[in-house]
Each structure stands twice: as structure tokens, then as C-alpha cells.
Amino acid sequence: MTVPESSADSAANAAGLAISLSLIPHADEQLCLTLRIRNLTATTLSDWNLQLDFPSAAQAGSGTEMSHRAGSHITLTPSPDADLGAGAEAELRMLVDAAFIQRYHDLPQGIFLYAGGEALSVDVVERNIDAALPPVSAEEQASEGPRRDDSAIATEAIVPRPLHCESNGSRFHCPRVLLYDPSEPAEEAIRWLQLNLPLQLQPAADSAGAATLQFQVDESMDDEAYHLRIHSAGISVAAASRAGFLYAAVSLTQLFPPDGELKLPLPGVDIRDKPRFGYRGLLLDCSRHFHSKQTILKLLELMALYKLNHLHWHLTDDEGWRLPVSAYPQLTAVGAWRGLGEALEPQFGSGPERYGGCYSHADIREIVNRAAQLSITLVPEVDVPGHSRAAIKSLPELLVESADRSDYCTAQQYTDNVLNPALRETYTFMYAVIDQLCELFPGALIHMGGDEVPAGAWRDSPACRRLASREGYRDCAALQGHLLRAAQAHLAGRGRQMAVWEEAAAGEGLSPESAVVHAWTDPGAGIRLANAGYQVVLCPAQYTYLDQAWSRCPQEPGASWAGTTDLEHCYRYEPFHEALNESGRQRVMGIQAALWSERIASRETLEYMAFPRLLAVAETAWSQANNKSWHHFQGRLGTHEKLLDRRDVNYRGTKPKPG
């Protein structure tokens, strides 16, 4: 297991520039972050500035000017201007709220010095910040997670925990070559077993009667349910659908020794199982940092291993546009890249070099097809009208109203990331994007975002004021609903349903019958929306956002704006409580974990943040509340650590690190 390190740390410094970071308390619960730059070269640097990424609000401190800011990317210059002589030092300062720096990952990332038209690398040599960080107890410092409890019996090592699982007292002397009866609905289940069992599978040559692995279609069962039996004569599986057969195969592979060694005979077991929720999801953000096709394909396999069935694919945001749209090639030619000299500045530690990427139509079809084989539905997201800076920078001649003087700032520190709902070209663009999504993604849901539009957007747009007046809206803020209702109507014409974030249902937004709502701000938000008549996917950040740090230890990677989320906290989330009425319960489609990638730049970090916490979300989504047990879950973790080891997953360990 590797703990991901900050991308600000550099192993080498070809430019001969060093920087140290220190924090000292300032007034009004602020910290002063001092950046001391040392010029170790023999060259005087003139007209220089320091550029870095810091995603939270900040102000310039004494002797410093914040000459530019876009999102997380900040440019600091000395005030007054001064050369940085050979062997000399200079100090720049930022004032930040103490709440914004809780751990090392909260420090500035992607630091470089710009002088003479060139970006110069900077070596972070010192970070004197421990004294300014919130105190952390020795217990928190030492804790790596739950201690393993191996008391769970082997036949119940399955995650998510099945509805009914018991030993039947028999034993199966499994041959090294397992004969199966071919069954078209079980094709993917058979393929899964061939790849994951420590034995060979071959079709029975004569008849199903000769097979020791038998599949039976039972149309009376629920769609994703299955019945798996290991008995003295062999293994039998009954299910009504491809998904049911696949989930039986997944459970069967988890009953075999996780180290890949075949130990015989197999104990007899009888499992009857079905999911609590029909929607069991994971969001992957590929905009803030681009994740390769190979990373996504591996993630799909891991989702199937834990019976998750929806991948919510966040394809566009302020920091990158990853979806190829035939009508607008500029979206990926321009909006998929950031760096110095690009339309999009560096963000989240990506540095001055050209950084980014996009998926081809062939890539997307391959991902969609593999997901379908694994009974996973792709839910693509193009976020509008906010979070649209990459699109706006790619198509400014279409998407910018020159007379718009609206003044706003988003939570992500952008002042230019909201589509204008009064421009005809906005709808032409949006409909073309929707048509492309419908062509590439066959699933019923298309996610259109609708979150975090800041106050003040459109307020000083002449076109928006005219539209609001013509439509009888009380103010320009109501134009978000206007635009999203147009998107919903276009999607309905293509036979699709729109999904949105919870903000889209506020005020004069969408009516309950219009869309599926993902509720994220707190555990009660989804309850209120379900009671109000909306179909809801529950994804409260405090329990399901896996980009949040595991603990308060400053070395732990991740964000902390929603609090920390260790494995037990994540596991103990219960979607239903007494405030949810009976009709509201029927409208809760399921739950979803999220991997937002502001701080997740690599597959290694992605896996570290996701596992094993994704197992906890998967069990909450699948297993009935009265069948969940934190104690029992702990007892199964050892088996699943070995399963993840075999799949080369960089999970966060649940045992203390050596030394």
C-alpha cells in the first residue's frame, strides 16, 4: 500500500529555486501563509511572479499582490515590484481562513516561478506548518482503521452481505475442471468465473445433467436476485436475469480462498439474495483530473465485484471538457487542456505544462459496452449552467454575452463559469451536447448538473433581464429552472430522463415529475426531497464522498470540508430514518458514493481513497438495514484485503503500518 503524496513536493530542482512554507496565526481565525523563495542560481530574476494552486478563498498579505486568480490558480507578485537577485530571498504572503488548512494536502500545490517568459520549477524544501494545524490526538495519529476480527465464518465472507446465507452441512469435492451447462443469460457469469476462479471451466459435452455447475432461469425472481447453492452434487444457480446470474458468480468467487489457492472440498452453502436498492452507484470525476480508459475499465471490474450497478461519469466541469462532441470539436481541442498558454490555466497542481486529455467515441463505446456486460449502467454528466468554464473558454464567440457585467464568485473561486440562459446559442450548444450523449450512452438517465450557480449570475446581463421580464420571473435567478426545463424537454424527446443535483429542485426549478435528484449537501436533504415527491439518489457528502479524508491526521490525503469519513463512519450511514414518510421511501432509488478528483490525480490515489470505504457504501446499498453489522463487516475485511491485493489495488490498509 502506498500513501499518496502531495504533488507540490519535487524530487529535483533543475532551476535552482527553493521555497519554504510556514503558517502563523493571524487575526480573526486566519492564518498567514508565508512563502519564502530562495534564488540559488547565479541569475537575477526580473519581473517575476509566483504561481500556485490553492482551491479555497485567500487574500494577499503584506508585501504581496494577488495579481490574478482563476479557480484554484493564483498569481502572486511582490509589492512593490523587486528583482530576485542571485542568492537572494523574497517573501510572499497569503491570508487564509484557518478552517481551509487542516492537512498537508490543503497547502498550495503546483508551485512554479514565472520569469522572462519561462516557467521555472521550484523545490518545496520545508513546510513548517504542524504548529498551526488543529491538534490531533495520539490515538488518531496511530489509528489506521478497524482491527480485523476473524470471527466471521468463512461462508459469510461475502461483501455485500447476502440477505440469507447459511451452511447446509454438505461438502462438494470440486474437480479441477468444472463442467457447466451453457446458458445464454449466464454468459457473463460464466466469463466472470473463468477469469476469477482457481480452476478451469468447460461446457458439458452432452447434457446439463453431466454438469456440476448448473444455471436455471427462474422468471418468478426479482430482476437482480439470485439463489446460489453449493451441495454434494455440485453448484447450482437460479436467477431471472443476466444481472442475477452475474451477482451469483461474484458471490461464488468470494467463497473461494482469496489467495487464489484451491482448497477442497468446498463447504456447502445456501444463499438467497437480492438488493435493498435498485440504484447502487459511484461517481467518478474525470474533469478536475483526467483518468485513463484503463483506469475506468479496472474500476468497472471492482464495482462489479461489489455489486454496484451505476457509474455516474462526471465528464465536464470548469477545469476540463472530456466528451467529444462532433458539432463542436473546439470543446476537446481547447477545453480538454490546461497550462500556461492554454485557454484554461493550471489547476489543482497540474503545473505549467500542457495537461489534460479526452476520450474518443471509440473509448466511450468500449467503456459503455464493458459496463453493460457487468450489469453497470453509465450515467454521463455534463454540468450546466454552472461549472461550465471549460465550455465557455472553448466557445466564447457563442457562449458569452459581451454586454454582461454580472459580478459573482463561485465556491471554487471562479467569476466566469456560468452559461447564459438568455442566449439562443446556449440552447443550440446544449441540445447538440445532449444529442451526442444520447448517441453514445444508451442508459435511461442523462445528468445535467444544475448545482452551485452563484448568487449574482445573470443579474447584470441585459439579455437575461429581458428574458426574465418576458417570462414573468421574479428575478434572473429563476432562469436556471428555465434552462433546465428546456434540457429536460429535449431529453424527453429522445426518450431519456434527466438527473440533476439537488439545487435544481429549489425555488422555481424542476417539478417532482421532471427529474431524478441526487441529494448531496446533508443526510436530510434527500429525505426532504423524497417526501416532496422527487425521485432521489442519496449521496450525502458527510458519509459517501470518498474524496474526503479518512481522519484528522494531517498526513492523510483528501479534503475535509464535509468532515472526515473513516470506514466505520461510512459504514454506519443509514439512508432511512423516521423523518422519511412511506411514500418518500418508495421514491428513494438508492445511494451513491463519489470520487471527486480535485485531489485525485492518479489511479494509485483513486484506489487509496476508494478502498475499502467503497465496500461499506456497497453493503449499505445492497444489504437490508437489519442485516448489516459493523462487527461482522470487520470480520470479512481480511478476506477482501487479499482479494484487493490479487487485483493490484492500492487500498488503504485496515491494519497499522509497520514501524
**DSSP characters over 302-343:** HHHHTT--EEEEE-EETTEE----TT-THHHHTTTEESTTSS
Range of weakest confidence among 102-106, 336-340, 428-432: 102-106
Q: Which residues pair with residue 198 across a beta bridge?
A: none
What confidence tens digit (pLDDT) does each residue in 317-327 have?
999 999 999 99
Query: What pLDDT band is residue 514 in, cutting at 50, 70 and 90?
Result: confident
**What mean pLDDT value characterizes the chain?**
92
Phi, psi of 548 (to 5 degrees): -75, 145
Q: What residues act catalytically?
A: 317, 387, 452
Q: In the prediction, which pLDDT does 207 show? A: 54
Task: Choose the CATH number for 164-273 among 3.30.379.10, 3.40.50.920, 1.10.1040.10, 3.90.1720.10.
Answer: 3.30.379.10
Mean pLDDT along residues 445-468: 97
Q: Which amino acid is at 444?
A: A
Query: What pLDDT band is residue 264 in, cutting at 50, 70 and 90?
Result: confident
Query: What pLDDT band is residue 138 in, cutting at 50, 70 and 90?
Result: low
CA distances from 515 to 23, 172, 444 (A): 46, 49, 11
The CATH-assigned architecture of domain 279-596+606-622 is Alpha-Beta Barrel (3.20)
Mean pLDDT along residues 395-423: 97
Domain segments of the chain: what residues? 17-134, 164-273, 279-596+606-622
Q: And the C-alpha cell for 646?
A: 490479487
How far is 322 from 255, CA to CA, in rounded Å?
A: 39
Name every residue whose Cβ is closer than 8 Å to that of residue 80 and which is 6 or more positions away in sequence.
none
Range of weakest confidence among 49-58, 79-88, 145-154, 218-227: 145-154
Q: Which amino acid is at 449?
A: G
Question: Is residue 497's pLDDT more than 80?
Answer: yes
Mean pLDDT along residues 376-392: 98
Task: Give one DSSP letter per residue of 92-140, joined into a string.
Answer: EEEEEEGGG-SSGGGS-EEEEEEETTEEEE-EEEEEE-GGGSPP--HHH
8 Å CB contact between 328 and 394? yes
Report percent pLDDT > 70 for the chain: 93
Q: And the C-alpha cell for 334?
A: 481547447
8 Å CB contact between 121 and 221? no
Question: Is residue 289's pLDDT more than 60?
Answer: yes
Task: Give one DSSP letter per residue of 398-448, joined into a string.
Answer: HH--TT-------TTS-SS----TT-HHHHHHHHHHHHHHHHH--SSEEEE
DSSP state of 209: G
Give the number of other CB atoms < 10 A from CB of residue 570: 24
Phi, psi of 613 (to 5 degrees): -65, -30
- The continuous run of DSSP H or E covering 525 comes out as helix 523-531
Q: Which residue has the higher pLDDT, 125 or 356?
A: 356
Question: Is residue 77's pLDDT more than 90?
Answer: yes
What confidence tens digit (pLDDT) does each residue in 527-540 have?
999 999 999 999 99
Q: In the prediction, which pLDDT does 12 show? A: 34
DSSP state of 560: -
CA distances from 223 to 168, 300, 307, 445, 483 (A): 25, 20, 13, 19, 36
What confidence tens digit (pLDDT) does each residue in 552-578 have?
888 899 999 999 999 999 999 999 989
Strands 226-231 and 234-239: antiparallel
8 Å CB contact between 43 and 59? no
The CATH-assigned architecture of domain 17-134 is Sandwich (2.60)
Query: What pLDDT band is residue 6 in, cutting at 50, 70 and 90?
Result: very low
Question: Is residue 169's pLDDT more than 50?
Answer: yes
Q: And the C-alpha cell for 527?
A: 429525505
Question: Is the torsion defined by CA of 618, 620, 621, 625 positive or negative?
Answer: positive
Phi, psi of 360 (to 5 degrees): -80, 165
If you count DSSP H runs as helices and E runs as strands, how many of each does the chain have, helices first?
18, 29
8 Å CB contact between 551 and 566? yes
Q: Give me the long-range contacts of 429-433 (CB less than 8 A, separation at least 24).
A: 429/328, 429/391, 429/395, 429/398, 429/399, 430/384, 430/483, 430/486, 430/487, 430/490, 431/490, 432/325, 432/327, 432/328, 433/323, 433/325, 433/328, 433/382
Helix, strand or coil, per DSSP, at residue 251: helix
Question: Is residue 142's pLDDT more than 90?
Answer: no
